[in-house]
Amino acid sequence: MHALRSLTVVLAFLLSLTPAAAQVATPREAADRMVAAVAARDAAAVAALYAPEAIVLVASQPVIAGREAIGQAWARNFAGGYAALAILQARTDTGSDRAAMVILWEATIRPQGAAPQSIRGRSLLYFTRAAEGWLISADMSQVPG
């Protein structure tokens, strides 16, 4: 179960294909790009959705700080079988340069040699608007149970 929780470290959703990709126009677009990047198993694309100094907080896990560390965490998640992410519900409050999004999500983990598993969780994403568009500054995720 510890490995499964660490697989959810960087959800929280949420994704341009490279740091130099097109601007992320809205926080919801960032979440949709996260889903696509996870489906492609592209850790760099997931990391590109985060601000350079972003942090990821997951219960009972060490803090992950910085875009590079976030990308490395996602690479480990994909190596462990993290295969899909679905957004079940999302609610966003957006200001001119800050936004918060609460997401209920489901992840599919397909470990090699084991049956696939579904994990449901929730995340609070805090976005800031930068030259690259909306980027995740803080990702706080929780897997109930």
Q: Give the domain range for residue 47.
A: 2-142
Does the structure show a pLDDT above 70 at 10? no
pLDDT at 14: 34
Please tell me the pTM assigned to this model: 0.84
pLDDT tens by residue, 92-111: 999 999 999 999 999 999 99
37-58: average pLDDT: 97
User: What token pair was written down for 12?
Assistant: 């929280």
Domain count, the chain: 1
Own/partner long-range contacts of 90-96 (Cβ < 8 Å, ≥24 apart): 90/28, 90/31, 92/27, 92/28, 94/26, 94/27, 96/129
39-52: average pLDDT: 98
